[in-house]
Structure formats: C-alpha cells, structure tokens
Amino acid sequence: MTDQQWNNLLAIIRGETLDARPSGFVIDCPWLPNWYGVNILDYFSNDEIWLEANLKAIREFPDTLFLPGFWSEFGMCTEPSAFGARCSFPANEFPHAHKVIHSAEEIDSLEVPNPATDGLLPLVLNRLRLAEPKIKAAGHEIRFAVARGPLNIASYLMGSTEFLMAMMMTPDRAHRLMRVITDFLNAWIDLQMKTFPTIDGIFLLDDIIGFIGDTEFRTFGLPYFKELYDKDVSVKFLHNDAPCRVSAPYLPEIGVNLFNMGFEVNLNELKEVTGNRVTMLGNIPPRDVLASATPDEVEQATRALVESLDDPSRVIFSCGGGMPPGVSSENVQAFLRGLK
Amino acid sequence: MSELMDKICLCIERGKVDKKAPYPPDMMNQDGADEYAREAIKAGESPDNILAACNTAMERIGDKFSRNEVFVPELLMAARAMNGVMEHLKPFFQAGNIKTKGTFVLGTVAGDLHDIGKNLVSMVVEGNGWKVVDLGVDVKTDKFLKAIEEHPGCAVGLSALLTTTMANMAATVKRIKELHADTVVIVGGAPLSHKAAKEMGADGYAANPQETVRILNSLVG
Ligand code: B12
C-alpha cells in the first residue's frame, strides 16, 4: 500500500468518510497467478514472477487497496511447513500440507518451530526482503505481518475433525497445541515486524473459528487471538469467510478493527453485533458473482450492496472472502463502476 | 422407546461416548453410549431397535445443527458416540441379523483438502443406516477405483470445494463410469450443481446431507 492508501485505510477505520467509496481485496495465490497468466508453481518458485504479478495488480487498479499487499506465501503450506509437514505442490493447483500429528498424544512432543530457520518461512521472508527495494520504488510499503490463525494451523497439523474432537475429548492437549502454535505465531509475527519496520498491521486468516460454538470459541479461540493481536500496531485484520455469527461479537474484545467475512452474512447485522467498531471488508459473493457473473451482473450486485447499507461508514467494498480464482479484470472494473 | 433406548439416544445426541469421556462436562462419570449399548444387548434388546435409536439421535442432533443450536464439534461427538454403539452391533451385521442399507464410498477429490462438508455428509449418511467408507481428502482416482472393487455394489460420493478441482472430479467420475458403469456416483460441494453433475456424467447431485440420504435411500427402494 502507498502512504496515501494506508492513511485512507486508517481514516476509514477511525470512522471517517472518504470522497470516493473505498474498495479493497485480499489477493494471493488463488487469484494472482491465473490472472497474471502463469501457472501456480511458477508463481511460487520464481520470485520475479511473484513480484511482477503483484506489481501488475497495483498498476492496473491503483485506487484499490490490495491486502495485505505483496503477500509472500506458499498457500496453505506456509506455516505447517515450519512444523515439518509434507507439502504438496501440484503444478497448477493449490498447494496443501499433510498432517504431522496422528494422535492427540503426539501433541505432547510437538516443539515450537523457529520461524527464522524452519520450513518455508525463511524463503517467505527473504523473498520479501529482496523485493522490498522494488516495492518501495513502486511507491508501496510492506504494511502487514501475515499468518494463518492458530485454529487453522491446528487443523492442518492434526486434521480438522481430529482437532475439533480433541477440543472436546482431550481439552488439555488441545490447549497445549494452541499454546505451541500461539508461541510460534507470536515469534513469526515479531520476526516479520523486526525485519520490516514499515509493518503497522497484523493480518490473521482463520476459517476454523467459523465451525465452533460459543463455549469452544471462548475456550480455544478468544484467549489465543487476544494474545496474538495484543501488539502495538494500527491495523488488526482478521479473515474468516466461514460462518461468523458466534465469533463476530467478540471482534472488538480481541482488538480486531478490520474484518473480511464470508458472503452469507449481512453487513448491517455484522455492524450491529460489533457496535460499528470494526471496519468491514466485504461482501459480494466471490465465486458465484465476482468470478462467474457477467460484468453487468457484478456491477448490479455491487450497487445493491452499496444501497443495502444502513450506514456506509467503516465499510471497504470487497468480496466476502479472498479474491477467488478466475476473476477477470473486466469484473474487477465492473465492481469498481458499481461503487461510483 | 424403552428406557435403555432413550438413554442410548440421549448419549448419542449429547455426544457422550463412554463413562470415562470428559465430554459433555455435565455428564462426567456417567455411563455413555458404549455402556448402555452393551447393557441393551445383554438385556436382549433387538439390534433393529438399537439401530433405530441411533437414527433418531442423529436426526435430532442434525436438526439442532440446522437451527445453529449446535456446531460441528457437537456433531462429530454424536457421530463418535454412535460409532461406539455400532461396534456392539457389528456381530449382528456380520451374522446378517441386521443389514446396512448399503455402502457409500466417500472422499474429497484429488488436489482438494476441504473436508468439513464431506464429513457432515458422512455422519448423516451413516446415522441413516449406511456403511460409510471415508477415503479422506486429496483422493486420487485409483483410490476410488480400489474402494469400489473392495465394496461391490457400493455407491460413491465425491466432494469438491474448489472450481479448479472440479476438473479432477470430472476425470474421476469419467474413469469410474468407464470401468464400473453401474456404480452410482453422487457429487457434492459448494461449487457443484445439478447441471455440473450432469455434464460430468454423475448420477446425482446433492446440496446437503439430507438430500444425499434421500438419493441413496431411493436406490434401495
Ligand atoms: C473452511 C474453508 C477452508 C478451510 C478448509 C478446512 C477443511 N479441513 O475443510 C481451509 C482454510 C484449509 C481452506 C483452504 C483453501 N481454500 Co477454502 N474455504 C473454506 C470456506 C470458508 C468454507 C468451506 C466449508 O467448509 N463450508 C462448510 C461446509 C459445511 O459446506 P460445504 O463444504 O459446501 O458442504 C456442504 C455441501 O456442499 C454438501 N457437500 C459437501 N461435500 C459433499 C459431497 C457429496 C458427495 C455430497 C452429495 C454433498 C456434499 O454438503 C455439505 C453440508 O451441507 C469456503 C468459503 C465458503 N464460505 O464457502 C472457502 C473456499 C471454498 N476456499 C477457497 C480457496 C481458494 C481455498 C484455498 C485454495 C486458499 C489458499 N490460499 O490456498 C485453500 C485450498 C487448498 C487446497 N489444495 O485445497 C475458495 C474457493 C474458490 C473457488 N472458486 O474454487 C472458497 C470458496 C473461498 C473464496 N474465496 O471464494 N478453505
């Protein structure tokens, strides 16, 4: 993000209204390689291609906020790789990590990885470090420390079913797992912040919070998220595009001030349950509208979203979830027209 | 329903697996589905009645889930408790005293790791009296083919959550149909539709577990 964009983002979060309706998208491997015209493996293994794809996005849509912006990642393999997970990278499909914990007992011997040396993390950081001069030359800065959230990582390490069951059957072990992951995440976020002093935001992505009820969220989510966001940064950004009715009321308590939700939830309702203290990044349907509809339909859906809002403050128009595969430039432009 | 059946039903609905299970906290140190199932069999309760209690419990928890009164972990615990009861019924299945409605081989297709929806389908189908063989995530075509050979007459369910892996799904459906034309293939997952299912040559599409059960039950009349 440029300084101007960052200042705009901070102003929106403070509740100020800008001259033009703001737009923003979470962009990463599901969208960028395909949109830029390269296969997914090339995007991951060639830093120039990764950088150029990101630069093309900011040049083609200079008025849109891309979050986190120049996201150095290896899809869902990024954090699990540090724990020793086998990572699969099919040539033109999305990478994924395999389990490392095969029973709740194995949690006892899990160690906190070192983000400076383990798995793909040094590559993630170094790619960004090498690209930083060019990012700056384009007028942008690295603004966010980024990581998958603790429940998300836990469900990778164990499997989602196994982890959700561990919460119920072996709660002490589930807490130990959350402890190890949270310690790791704190170190990973701190390392990113230390490497790039321009960072003034934290971005965590965790869909698994969408699948648990209030008791489990308060037990296994809330304390760990509060700890992770308890850092001196201006923007505390969370993505959860699975259901969020249970967790949303807690966002202000966690400290989150920017939220990317799923498309099924109504923004007016979300603003109400959060007391309009959280800026909403959403929420036209990503796959079924932004990616698959015609430009006219995208424009209409965007207009309908704008008109549906009781209060347009603290809203950045986007899709509900990250930018999905297959969204054309025409459809992004149609979205932006819909905001005019 | 007899008192024991009520207890089995309640334990499954509440996800109380056995006496030592710490969940749910308010049933700590009480007998669970495992103990009551053992007692019921000892008391000569008919396996069919026990199976019916399982179905009722899974239906009740499923309804609560649709009303957002419980969430995925509670559902998983109910399924776990039901599986404990099923263990006691195994000898009756093996002896042919009671029958499953059939076998449903299920998996998330190659390249795709989304499994929460698939797991819900698995639990509900199982709770409805089907044997479910869950192959997990990122399941390559060969693994589906092997399972079909191991379970003659089974129906197959494929799940995909990514538009990109729908292509892998189509390839798997095609291969299954080439080699096992009579095997019924049902597809599901958020990006799927009746139209997409038809185009890839699948026999059916279901948007949720209940519809899946309806299709499967229609196969066995
Ligand atoms: C949770 C989630 C994840 C979790 C998955 C955890 C897990 N173990 O499953 C995590 C975080 C790991 C994840 C990863 C990714 N995800 Co994801 N994810 C989601 C999310 C938020 C919810 C999916 C879900 O579980 N829904 C709840 C269940 C209950 O619903 P369901 O799956 O549709 O299942 C129901 C029915 O479809 C049906 N059904 C399901 N299966 C079957 C099978 C049969 C046989 C039948 C009959 C019926 C049936 O019954 C179920 C119950 O009603 C969706 C967005 C959304 N809101 O839908 C994105 C989404 C699916 N993900 C998406 C993406 C892009 C990814 C990644 C590629 C992201 C990345 N940066 O790498 C990776 C995938 C990597 C890979 N190789 O697979 C995109 C896909 C876009 C597209 N066009 O394909 C989505 C749509 C989000 C978006 N931005 O649009 N994701």
pLDDT in tens, A123-137: 999 999 999 999 999
Residues of the domain holding A9:
3-339
Q: Which of A139-143, A205-209, B19-23, B89-93 has the lowest mean pLDDT?
A: B89-93
Q: Let me know whether B159 and B181 are in one domain.
A: yes
| Residue B44 to chain A, least CA–CA distance (Å) | 31
> Alpha-carbon Rg of chain B, whole angstroms?
18
Question: CATH number of the domain that B80 lies in?
Answer: 1.10.1240.10
With a 6 Å cutoff on the Cβ, whether A96 touches ligand 1 is yes
pLDDT (average), residues A316-325: 98
Nearest CA to ligand 1 atom 26: B117
| Residue A120, beta-bridge partner list | none
Q: What is the mean pLDDT of residues B56-77?
A: 94
Cβ pair A325, A6 in contact under 8 A: no
Number of domains in chain B: 2
**Are B44 and B129 contained in the same domain?**
no
- Nearest C-alpha of chain A: how many angstroms from B206? 18
Range of the domain at B10: 3-94
Residue finishing a domain among B52, B69, B94:
B94
- Tell me, yes or no, whether B21 and B122 share the same domain: no
How many Å apart are CA A220 and CA A179, to the nearest integer? 10
Mean pLDDT of chain B: 95
Phi first, then psi, for residue B119 (nearest 5°) are -65, -35
How large is the average pLDDT for residues B71-76? 95
Residue B183 above 90 pLDDT? yes
Contact A127, A72 (CB under 8 A): yes
Domain count, chain A: 1
| Contact status of B165 with chain A (Cβ, < 8 Å) | yes
Q: Helices (DSSP H) in chain A: which residue ranges?
A: 3-14, 32-36, 40-45, 47-60, 78-82, 121-137, 150-158, 160-169, 171-195, 214-216, 222-229, 251-254, 267-273, 295-308, 329-339
Q: Check if A34 has its Cβ closer than 6 Å to any atom of ligand 1.
A: no
pTM assigned to the model = 0.96
**Is residue B109 domain-shared with residue B209, that is, in the same domain?**
yes
If you average pLDDT over residues A90-104, what whole number do you get?
93
CA angle A240, A191, A255 (to 5 degrees): 40
Give the whole-angstrom CA distance, residue A218 versus residue B103: 39
Same domain, B9 and B88: yes
Contact B80 A213 (CB under 8 A): no
Confidence band (pLDDT; 50, 70, 90) for B221? confident
pLDDT value of position B1: 64
Q: What is the mean pLDDT of residues B179-196?
A: 97
R_g over Cα of chain A:
19
Q: What is d(CA A50, CA A28) in angstroms, rounded to the nearest whole number?
A: 10
Q: Is the pLDDT of residue A140 over 80?
A: yes
**Tens digit of pLDDT for each residue in B132-152?**
999 999 999 999 999 999 999
pLDDT at position B99 over 90: no
Distance from CA of B189 to the nearest CA of A (A): 13
Per-residue pLDDT at B109 exceeds 70? yes
pLDDT(A294) > 80: yes
Q: Between B90 and A129, whose confidence is greater?
A: A129
Is the predicted pLDDT of residue A5 greater than 80, yes or no?
Answer: yes
User: What pLDDT score does B36 carry?
Assistant: 97
Q: How far is the CA of A48 from the centre of ligand 1 (A)?
A: 30
Check CB contact under 8 Å for B22 and A171.
yes
Which residue has its alpha carbon closest to ligand 1 atom 33?
A: B190
